[in-house]
Amino acid sequence: MVNILILSAGTRDKVVQYFKKELAGRGKVIATDCSALAPAIYEADEYVIVPRITEPGYLEKILSICKEKQITGVFSLIDPELSLLALHRDEFLAVGTTPIISGTEQVETCFDKYRMFEKLTELGIPTGKCFMDQEAFFAAVESGQMRYPVFLKPVCGSASININKVSCREEVELLCKLNDDLMIQEYMDGQEYGADVYIDLISKEVISIFVKKKIKMRAGETDKAVSVRDEELFGLIKEFVEKMGFLGIIDIDIFRIDGVWYISEVNPRFGGGYPHAYACGVNVPAMIVNNLEGRANAPAIGAYKTGIAMMKYNEIMIKEEMEGCE
């Protein structure tokens, strides 16, 4: 029996559906959210409304659910919760639950964009230049090492919140004055790609890489994309992931500029575009269930259909006689 707990399910109904389909008869999918208006929870076998993750007692509530529901594996679909799972791994293991997440160091590096830039540079992997110091950036512009436009973004942030494309020194100075902890990042003027990667929980090997060419983006999310395959990119991703020591599912943003692959950012969770990978034959829920049942997965990098397009569109869910939703 394998029971999966999906935290902060929100609107990610497809991920819930995939695990429910995979477990049919072998266990349950339990979903949580802090709101009864989170449609994905109604796709699960059971759901629990929980406090916000910032409220006292949240961790204890999740641990009690794990114990009561005999949860085998747990993961979250939102960034703020990933560090909590990584930091408290031992407490989850103590109640018989495996957190499906990378280690604390890897998770924290993902959420500190400048730290990730430093790590990529240290590993010799191409990435966009970043600056925390305004004067160092202005000096780089003067010497011709950098040029406008550039991106200004929070060092720690997600969902493309508070990201600005700026074209002159005055804009940089103004935004840095108005906001703390902004990082100046080279504008990556190239084709954007995304990769869904799974690192086996048992063998610790990269066993699956799915790559999509992004066609249309909106608020940090991929609206339209097409599946592609590139052996050189597979090699770069595998090298990067193994050197970093990631574990479980990760989502990587990549650029192709003048024939060179650049790694931009990493999200140590299911990406919003994972349903594209699933539709092309990359069944990460099955890989996770195999691991939780004590079986390592065989490598299957690039084992998917190419030329398959994904197009997101709006859908609604209607629930009658809802309470506590004012």
Q: Backbone phi, then psi, for 307, in 5-degree steps?
A: 75, 15
Smallest Cα–Cα separation from 275: which of 230, 234, 241, 225?
A: 225
Q: Would you state the pLDDT for residue 315?
A: 86
Backbone angles phi, psi at 67, to 5 degrees: -70, -45
E strands along the chain, which residues? 4-7, 29-33, 46-49, 73-76, 98-99, 130-131, 150-154, 164-166, 182-186, 191-199, 206-218, 221-228, 248-257, 260-267, 309-311
Give the confidence band of 9 by pLDDT, cuts at 50, 70, 90: very high
What integer pLDDT is reported at residue 326 of this predicted model? 54
The per-residue pLDDT for 323 is 66
Report d(CA 217, CA 126) in Å as an integer. Answer: 23
- In sequence order, the 6+-apart residues with CB closer than 8 A to the CB of 180 are none
- Residue 194 CB coordination number (10 Å): 24
pTM: 0.93
Phi then psi for residue 265, to 5 deg, are: -140, 160
> 149-186 pLDDT, tens per residue?
999 988 886 555 678 889 888 888 898 888 878 999 99
pLDDT at 285: 98
- The β-bridge partners of 186 are 150
| pLDDT tens per residue across span 191-230 | 999 999 999 999 999 999 999 999 998 867 788 999 999 9
pLDDT in tens, 96-108: 999 999 999 999 9
Total count of residues recorded for the chain: 326
> Mean pLDDT over all residues of the chain?
93
Query: In percent, how much of the chain has pLDDT > 90?
Result: 80
pLDDT of 130 > 90? The answer is yes
pLDDT tens-digit map of 26-79: 999 999 999 999 999 999 999 999 999 999 999 999 999 999 999 999 999 999
Strand order in the sheet with 98-99: 46-49, 29-33, 4-7, 73-76, 98-99
User: What pLDDT sits at residue 280?
Assistant: 97
Would you state the pLDDT for residue 157?
A: 64
H/E segment holding residue 19: helix 13-23
Q: What is the average per-residue pLDDT within 293-304?
A: 97
Predicted pLDDT of residue 325: 60
Higher pLDDT pick, 29 / 24: 29
110: tokens are 């993902």
Q: What is the DSSP string of 88-148?
A: THHHHHHTT-EE-S--HHHHHHHH-HHHHHHHHHHHT-----EES-HHHHHHHHHTTS--S
- Better pLDDT: 324 or 153: 153
SS3 label, residue 32: strand
pLDDT tops 80 at residue 234 = yes
pLDDT recorded at residue 159:
52
For 275-295, what is each residue's pLDDT tens digit? 999 999 999 999 999 999 999
Which of the two residues, 317 and 86, has the higher pLDDT score?
Answer: 86
Condensed to tens digits (0 to 9), the pLDDT of residues 266-276 reads 999 999 999 99
